[in-house]
Each structure stands twice: as structure tokens, then as C-alpha cells.
Amino acid sequence: MRLSVLDQSPILSGLDAPRAIAETLRLARRADELGYERYWLAEHHAIAALGDPCPEVLLARLGAETRRIRIGSGGVLLPYYSAFRTAESFRMLEALYPGRVDLGIGRAPGGDLRTAQAVGGGHAPGAERFPEQVWELVGHLDGALPDEHPFKRVRVQPEVPGAPEVWLLGSSDYSGALAAQLGLPFAFAHFISARGGDAVCRFYRDRFQPSAREPRPRVIVCTFAICAQSDGEAERLAASIDLRRLHMALNVDAPIPTTEEALAHRYSDEERRYVLGQRARAVLGGPQKCRDEIEAMAARYGADEVMLLTITGDYDSRLRSYELIMQAFQ
């Protein structure tokens, strides 16, 4: 079982963004030591709980802090940017860390409408050009644009022998179908949408068209995961992400609650039903329970790899969760 990490650089209540970024680097070093396959950083904008708006910048430092693990974006929100400029940024990362770079691409806005307009230079970029952007991006990276393309003769620098892996990210059938059509590997966000993803991944595999990059389909499924020494302790740690999900539903823009803050919250019956209904997006429990659920999820999705997103109310228990899961598989 190949296991990987998705990190949103969570900002905990009472702490700040520099601490969140420092903890991202600490976790990346440990994930590298533990044997995780890859470490992806997510892009979010103007959200009090998440501290990384520009994964391509932080990846440059992340690569220097690690030695073996693949590093990448999970993902760059391509509708905001030009395909050419994104290709240049990740060519630079490939030059720095050859054979270790992934370019994960998403099309969600990563924030509210006003934020999308700010990031987009005054307008909210739509996703109608997304398939063309992905095709152009791959063409720039591989020098494979057709002769009639207006940017065919534009030099993409730095010129390096290799290129990043390109992954299409999604939580719906749209991205799965596009990944199959373009012959790209696909990462499904179970932590966003817990229902129907297995059907999306089956469709992707069935319709996959081999490409110069990928001779066969490849699937990552990404899930929330909290592992502790016991099921009861994992349940206690999950209180922070329960309250965070409620905050998101109520448009409360606040840092991640500490465990103590979360346990002190008094839920209404409706709120309690809501947060428990979100638990399908997560693997939660002691080491053996987490291993069993991760293996079952991989089988259900037909996944080649499972990526884990862990957020708790303190950074030490987050790191320990990744240690315990890897130990359970070893």
C-alpha cells in the first residue's frame, strides 16, 4: 500500500501562519523519514484556518528539507493562472529536485467569490477554458504543442531533461472524465465528497486513453484521517475537525479550534447531526481500525495509492497520526 500526505498548512487557534508553515516543514521531514510516497500542498486564499496560498513557493523550501519523498501541489488552481507561467514554475522545481515533482491541478476557486475576483485580477475566472488550459500546460511541459499553436515556438525555461508528473484533481465526474480523455493520472478528493467517488474512478479507468505520459490509468484517493493509540483518543482528537466543519457550514472564518475549545462547544441536535453526517469523509480510530478502513477504501476506489489529510487541534498529535498509520502498515 502506497501512502501519501496532503497538507493544508492548518493554522491553530492561538497560533499564527509562520508556525503553521514551520509545522508543514517539520511534518514533511518526518513523512520523508517514514517512507510516505509523496507530499502535496494545497492552495487556499483568504481563509483564517489555512496558511498556504502559493504551494509552488513553499515547495521550493520543502524540497530542500527532504531527500526522497515526491513533492507537489494538491493543487494549483489553474483557472487563475496562465498555463505557460505554471509550466515555468514547475519546470524550475523540476530543475531543483529532478524526478521528485508533481503538478496537481484543480479548478475550484479555493475561496469565496470576492477572493476569487481579487486573485483573478478583478474578475472571477471561470472553468470553461479549463480543459484547454490543462492541454496547453502539458504541451508546454513536454514541448508537444502542435505546429499551428501560437505559442509553439516560445521557449519554456528552465530547459531540463525531465518534467513533473501532472495529476488532475477532482471531487466529481467532470475531472475524472477529463483525466481519462487527456491520459493523465487522477486524484479523487474523498475528503470533499464521500459519495460516488468509486463510480467516478471506475469510469475514469474504463474510459482512460493512453498518452505519451501515461500508458495506463493511475488513481489516488485522498481522505481525512485521524489515528491515535486508541479509538477513543482518535474520537477525542476528531472534535477539532468536527467543529471546523461546522464553522465552514456556518461561514465562520476562524482558525482550527484546539481540542479543548472543540470539546467545550455545545452542539444543538441539528449541529450534531450535521457533523456526524460528515464523518463519512474520514478514517478515524486506532492503528488497526485505520489500516482496515484505508485498505477497504483503496479496494473500493481501485486506488493505487491513498493520500491522507490530517488536521487535529495540536501539531504533535497530527504528526503522531501519520507515524501510527505508517507503523500499522509496516
Residue 164, preceding peptide bond in cis (omega within 30° of 0): no
Q: What is the pLDDT of residue 116?
A: 81
Residue 24: inside a domain: yes
Average pLDDT over residues 103-118: 82
Average pLDDT over residues 41-51: 95
- Number of structural domains in the chain: 1
pLDDT at 110 over 70: no
Measured in degrees and rounded to the nearest 5, phi and psi for residue 143 equal: 60, 35
Choice between 116 and 303, residue whose per-residue pLDDT is larger: 303
In angstroms, the Cα distances linking 24 to 100, 183, 249 are: 18, 31, 26
Provide the β-strand partners of residue 220: 187, 305
Residue 192: inside a domain: yes
Cell 490530517, residue located: 310
Residue 119: inside a domain: yes
Residue 208: inside a domain: yes
Measured in degrees and rounded to the nearest 5, phi and psi for residue 151 equal: -105, 15
pLDDT at 125 over 80: no
Average pLDDT over residues 113-121: 83
What percent of the chain has pLDDT above 90?
A: 92
How many whole angstroms separate alpha carbon 235 and alpha carbon 290? 12
Residue 240: inside a domain: no
Q: Which three cell numbers stand for residue 111?
A: 475561496
Q: Taking the C-alpha atoms of 296, 294, 243 and 76 in order, what is their torsion angle to the nearest 10 degrees?
A: -110
Residue 68: inside a domain: yes
Sign of CA dihedral 253, 254, 255, 260: negative
Across the chain, mean pLDDT equals 95
Q: What is the pLDDT of residue 24?
A: 98
Question: Which of 120-124, 232-236, 293-297, 303-307 has the least mean pLDDT?
Answer: 120-124
Provide the β-strand partners of residue 5: 39, 308
Residue 142: inside a domain: yes
Q: What is the pLDDT of residues 79-107, one digit of tens each?
A: 999 999 999 999 999 999 999 999 999 98
Q: Which domain, by its residues, includes 75?
A: 2-220+289-306
- The residues, any chain, with a CB within 8 Å of residue 90's CB and separated by 6 or more, are 56, 101, 103, 141, 164
What does pTM read for this prediction? 0.96
Q: Are 104 and 73 spatial neighbours (Cβ–Cβ below 8 Å)? A: yes
Q: What is the pLDDT of residue 111?
A: 66
> Which is it for strands 219-227 and 38-41: parallel, antiparallel or unpaired?
unpaired
Residue 256: inside a domain: no
* CATH number of the domain bearing residue 76: 3.20.20.30
